[in-house]
A = this chain, B = another copy of it.
Amino acid sequence: MIQPAKEITKRKVEFWFDFGSNYSYLSAMRIDDLASKSGIEVAWRPFLLGPIFQSFGWNSSPFVLQKQKGAYTWKDMERQARKFDVAWTQPTTFPRKAILPLRVAALGMEKPWIGHFVRATMVRNFADDKDIESEDAVREVLAAIDVAADEVIAQAQSDENKARLRQATETAAARGIFGAPMFFVGDEMFWGNDRLEDAIDYASSLA
């Protein structure tokens, strides 16, 4: 009897994120557990949120540009982090630039260490309130998860890989992504950490 290949039938949720996005942090810390409980595969999709915001004429996050929404966001994050039992410190720099770690994530998105790398970088930003962009910072994160830092950083900075992250960002824009986190199940789009459960439930409902 021939079993259908697991890779073909397995249902998948795409998780589009930027390391600077605080609500992406909450999802990054939750998605692997939630998805695995439902037998759903996670596809990690790093992209640059900055160029998307710039295409709307914004030179920063709406949480910076809109004072009232920003004030609310930090209060909301405190409550949401407590609700989901995730460590939280309001970052002293927001949004933190993350080009190098996003390049590393773009390079490693199919690697077994991708979830560890994303979570460790997110924790560094949103729980430890530390720089995540410098080569030293990325090296420290990679070393902590036992990934060969020199090799990965060199590959991440290759022209080919730089193009990979740019391409991902163009794909994000083309698919109508206007914020992060964004989830896709097929073409069905779900915005925000508040919709993570809905996205997984939808993936689970597919035959």
Contact = CB atoms under 8 A, between A and B. Distances in A.
Interface stretch (A71-79, A118-126, A139-147, A153-161): A71-79
Contacts of A195: 76
A189 B75 contact: yes
A125 to B, nearest CB: 23
Interface residues of A, number: 21
A113 interface: no
Contact of A72 (B75, B76, B191, B194): B191
B176 A71 contact: yes
Interface in A173-207: 176-179, 189-192, 194-195, 198
Given A75-B189, A189-B72, A189-B75, A66 B194 contact: no
Interface in A85-125: none
A68 interface: yes
A10 interface: no
A79 B83 CA distance: 24
A72 B198 contact: no
A80 B166 CA distance: 33
A75 to B, nearest CB: 7
Contacts of A66: 56, 178
Given A76-B191, A191-B76, A68 B198 contact: no
Given A68-B176, A69-B179, A72-B189, 17 more contacts: A56-B66, A66-B178, A68-B177, A68-B178, A69-B178, A71-B176, A72-B176, A72-B178, A72-B191, A75-B189, A76-B190, A76-B191, A76-B195, A79-B198, A83-B198, A192-B194, A194-B194
15 contacts: A66-B178, A68-B176, A68-B177, A68-B178, A69-B179, A71-B176, A72-B176, A72-B178, A72-B189, A75-B189, A76-B191, A76-B195, A79-B198, A83-B198, A194-B194
